Amino acid sequence: VEASIPEPQRKAWLEHQTSGFKDKDGFEKEVVRHVETTLARSLYNCDEQAAYAACSLAFRDRLILEWNRTQQRQTFADSKRVYYLSLEFLMGRALDNAMLNIGQKDVAKAGLADLGFRIEDVIEQEHDAALGNGGLGRLAACFLDSLASLNYSAWGYGLRYRYGIFKQEIIDGYQVEVPDYWLDFNPWEFPRHDVTVDIQFYGHVTKRTDDNGKTIATWEGGEIVKAVAFDVPIPGYATPSTNNLRLWSSKAASGEFDFQKFNSGDYENSVADQQRAETISAVLYPNDNLDRGKELRLKQQYFWVAASLYDIVRRFKKSKRAWKEFPDQVAIQLNDTHPTLAVVELQRILVDLEGLDWEEAWNIVTQTFGYTNHTVLPEALEKWSVPLFQHLLPRHLQLIYDINLFFLQSVERKFPKDRDMLARVSIIEESQPKMVRMAHLAIVGSHKVNGVAELHSDLIKTTIFKDFVEVFGPDKFTNVTNGITPRRWLHQANPRLSELIASKTGSLDYLKDLTELAKIEHYKDDKDFRKEWAEIKYANKVRLSKHIKKTTGVDVNPSALFDVQVKRIHEYKRQQMNIFGVIHRYLTLKAASPEERKKFQPRVSIFGGKAAPGYWMAKQIIHLINAVGAVVNNDKEIGDLLKVIFLEDYNVSKAEMIIPASDISEHISTAGTEASGTSNMKFVLNGGLIIGTCDGANIEITREIGEQNIFLFGNLAEDVEDIRHNHTYGSHTVDPDLTKVFEAIEKGTFGEPKDFMGMISAVRDHGDFYLVSDDFHSYIETQELVDKAYRDQEGWVTKSIESVARMGFFSSDRCINEYAEGIWNLEPLPIKDQK
Ligand code: 6GP
């Protein structure tokens, strides 16, 4: 890079490299400069918000230099890149992460203190970048961190939503959604007004035959919307590598407004096009594990995919390579089926615009794409109606029909006369109306399909994609167990624990190779180490207690057992079982004598999570949790023995505070429904234990940390189907303890019973699809084991230390290396003179 700088600019460039802040004074100088010039404020008028802004701008300046250099390095190397296409990136805050990854948080802390600020308060000013719903979006964010930290040439592509996931307020126990104005001040994005792509919708297709007898299809008419790039730098940890996340924003192709309409006085309509266009990137659909089939959503998908592919192809074409080399230069990962249109769009570019033969083009396409499935829930498997496709993307529908025809012909050759097989694997579902099955298209268009934990990857092969294993053979299907970045989820969220670990492993290098954690197991009997371990957990609980007091007004005792379930509210995740269990505990306590009560382990049951705005049952669950809290928390007889807390507006930055404060966390999905889970990994990495079902990554966590360190319960995935069948056709009786819980609710113990009848009748009258009653007894019993284990504090600390020591496998670095080797065929780009 340096050698390529022209001589006249070289001196200035070299000086620039050494500018910035080498120490606290240098940092302060930069902050003051930004306050006074960029923000145009006087230092006397510098509040925490301004300090945050100036501090971010100072770090951003440093990031930009490395970012530019990384992009140049990758361009010069001209080696393969991976593009991670995700409709969600749940990034959380950027400043703390940037300071830690660059390795200058200490400098900032001292500098800010000189200026009269506490670094924690400054960090708190930042609004979360919440462009995602839950696990799928947060995984994408962890992957970006690992890709940069491991020096892979990688870009993320997503949408720049003007409103991310809504803010949740709890009013009278109910969830109320409030828009998320996150772009008020966002120093972490760079608009690239020069990087734009015109995206076409609607219109029609004409076909003609050229001189060689080849059919040429042309997509004409319709409307054009402009995609504008916004770039977000992604700093790697302890490396200069700074990758790019490119988010697309929509704008009217015609400019700000229609001059003709404006000049004729039609002001309202003069901005109509602008507003219509901007709607595309306006909001994130707030559904987790659910597909609603709305036209605007399909528009979002095509808009983002078409802009991204145009960009990727433009970059490839600069290298002047032959098309057949495309898959050697480009790997594209589909984060679930949301970007599956990319398969069709690349085929369209190659065949319609670049004139390649169908076969040649299709080979390129299938070698380029990989598809990750994140759920087996049928309500989340995307399908789009054929008439909608026909209207919005007429040429793409034709291409899908062609792709399907060739695919079905190949199936027919392998399974002659098996009409049922053809119907089952077809990309088109023969329903009324016909539907395009996006998962089928993604499988047919990719060279690898992966699940996100062992059980999940097995399940997709034996259930939803079974036929495809027969068609393509088993090697196309693989597993990559999810991981999390230890930088954010240990070092940043739990600095004291990170420091303690580093004092035993010798350095912070364990953040680059998480298997180094194993070293701390040697100290599990060391008295001082154990004491400090327990103290850190307690301090984290004190911090959370203060937050609980501030936000809910409830006093909780930090010495009580903190039991946490934070995640999206969903019936399959079974928060309803948790709150029924809490009610059972409350009834037991009420029935006990004051003497007996003393024997009970005090507990704080903490919930958090958003319900999709249209998900009635999930909202009812939130309401019940709050209603139970209102009664239990004010029951003088119960006091500290039980508290029930619902934390409002769970998001990434709150997770960073909540997770380190947990003693036990709940991962209690009906077996076979939670593809992996990733918060399970975060909790254990922070020294919390787990109560959970044999589902998703819980199984692999158990294998790594040992059965003695986890509280497993409930029916197994392999039995779920039979049990459900029995609910419908056999005799279904509700567990007696659960019946008592229902009776208490129906008596009005927690307010108006009819508000909660949906949850009760789902179990009692509608087949109990999620096996709440079947698992209830074993859940309650296992919670009693948790109480008992917690009373043995020494034993508990041993479990906690052993668990953390054995979590090395669950780093997203390991996970990304597996993708790179097994799916992308990608090597890191080595950096000379890296520390
Ligand atoms: C989620 C899965 O529910 C979760 O188990 C997994 O850990 C996460 O993906 C990351 O792999 N799936 C979704 O959020 C989703 O919407 C379509 O899938």
User: Residue 360 above 80 pLDDT?
Assistant: yes
State residue 21's pLDDT score.
78
Evaluate: CB of 70 within 6 angstroms of ligand 1.
Answer: no
Binning pLDDT at 50, 70 and 90, where does residue 545 land? very high
List beta partners, residue 642: 603
Separate counts of helices (H) and strands (E) for the chain: 35, 24
Amino acid 448 reads K
Binning pLDDT at 50, 70 and 90, where does residue 19 land? very low
> Cα separation of 610 and 624, whole Å?
14
Domain spanning 486-804: CATH superfamily: Glycogen Phosphorylase B; (3.40.50.2000)
DSSP single-letter state for residue 518: G
Domains 78-93+128-480 and 486-804 share a fold: yes
ipTM above 0.90 for this complex: yes
CA distances (Å), 791 to each of 664, 665, 788, in order? 13, 17, 5
Please state the atom number of ligand 1 nearest to the C-alpha of residue 287. Answer: 16
User: Residue 216 above 60 pLDDT?
Assistant: yes
Give the CATH number of domain 78-93+128-480.
3.40.50.2000
List beta partners, residue 92: 129
Evaluate: CB of 149 within 6 angstroms of ligand 1.
Answer: no
- Output the residue whose Cα is nearest ligand 1's atom 15: 289
Active site residues: 374, 567-568, 573, 678, 682
The pLDDT tens digits of the residues spanning 804-830 come to 999 999 999 999 999 999 999 999 998
Would strands 242-252 and 223-235 be described as parallel, antiparallel, or unpaired?
antiparallel
The pLDDT tens digits of the residues spanning 758-794 come to 999 999 999 999 999 999 999 999 999 999 999 999 9
For residues 133-146, b (16+ Cβ closer than 10 Å) or e, as one string? bbbbbbbbbbbbbb
The pLDDT tens digits of the residues spanning 677-717 come to 999 999 999 999 999 999 999 999 999 999 999 999 999 99
The residue-averaged pLDDT of 578-586 equals 99
The pLDDT tens digits of the residues spanning 653-675 come to 999 999 999 999 999 999 999 99
Please state the atom number of ligand 1 nearest to the C-alpha of residue 678. Answer: 7
State residue 84's pLDDT score.
99
User: Residue 744 above 60 pLDDT?
Assistant: yes
Average pLDDT, the chain: 96
> Cα separation of 113 and 107, whole Å?
10
User: Residue 20 above 70 pLDDT?
Assistant: no
- Output the residue whose Cα is nearest ligand 1's atom 9: 136
State residue 22's pLDDT score.
78
User: Residue 600 above 90 pLDDT?
Assistant: yes
Ligand 1 midpoint to CA 675 (Å): 6
User: Residue 121 above 50 pLDDT?
Assistant: yes
Binning pLDDT at 50, 70 and 90, where does residue 270 land? confident
Q: And the tokens for 768?
A: 């109990």
The residue-averaged pLDDT of 455-473 equals 98
> Cα separation of 469 and 93, whole Å?
41
User: Residue 245 above 70 pLDDT?
Assistant: yes
Region of 355 on the Ramachandran plot (φ > 0 left; ψ -120 to 50 alpha; else beta): left
Residue-range domain boundaries for the chain: 17-77+101-120, 78-93+128-480, 486-804
The pLDDT tens digits of the residues spanning 79-93 come to 999 999 999 999 999
Give start and end residues of each alpha helix (H) in 419-493.
Answer: 419-425, 438-444, 454-462, 466-472, 486
Evaluate: CB of 164 within 6 angstroms of ligand 1.
Answer: no
The residue-averaged pLDDT of 615-636 equals 98
Q: DSSP readout, 403-435? A: HHHHHHHHHHHHSTT-HHHHHHH-SEE-SSS-E
Rg (CA), the chain: 28
State residue 574's pLDDT score.
98
The residue-averaged pLDDT of 489-516 equals 98
Evaluate: CB of 137 within 6 angstroms of ligand 1.
Answer: no
- Predicted TM-score (pTM) of the model is 0.97
> Cα separation of 368 and 247, whole Å?
21
The residue-averaged pLDDT of 488-508 equals 98
> Cα separation of 10 and 16, whole Å?
10
State residue 4's pLDDT score.
64
The residue-averaged pLDDT of 464-491 equals 98
- Output the residue whose Cα is nearest ligand 1's atom 17: 289
Q: And the tokens for 109?
A: 């802390």
Binning pLDDT at 50, 70 and 90, where does residue 261 land? confident
State residue 2's pLDDT score.
59
Spatial contact of 659 and 630, defined as CB atoms under 8 Å apart: no
**Ligand 1 probe mutation, 287, 372, 374, most atoms within 8 A of CB:** 374
Burial class of residue 330, CB neighbours in 10 A (0-12, 13-18, 19+):
buried
Spatial contact of 286 and 166, defined as CB atoms under 8 Å apart: yes
